[in-house]
Amino acid sequence: MSDPKELCPDELDAASGGSGAGFSHAYARVSPELCVCCGACASECPSDAPRRSGDAYEIDPDLCVACGACADACPIGAIRIS
């Protein structure tokens, strides 16, 4: 049986040498149970990081620069930067 060697994001960052190519930086995160898919975050994002995924938006951590524009725009406070 093969070993998929699944790594958590922090481990992936460590594996990449902490070069910033991983997910150790702050980025916006959507609470999917709150998101109403209004699209305001995507409209305000300068880096095209929010994408609709099913019934909620998700933020691509590789694209997010943690500017906070989406969190300011979200009408229900579903986005936090951490």
Site of interaction with ligand SF4 (CB under 6 A): 27-28, 30, 35-41, 44-47, 49-50, 57, 59, 64-70, 73-74, 76, 78-79, 81
User: Closer CB to ligand SF4, residue 12 or residue 47?
Assistant: 47
When the beta carbons of 10 and 72 are compared against ligand SF4, the nearer one is 72
- Residue 9's nearest CA partner among 29, 27, 23 is 23
- Choice between 1 and 73, CB closer to ligand SF4: 73
Q: Shortest distance, CB of residue 24 to ligand SF4, whole angstroms?
A: 15
Annotate 8-60 with DSSP letters as a single string: -HHHHHHHTTSSSSSS-S--EEE-TTT-----HHHHH-TT--EEEETTEEEE-
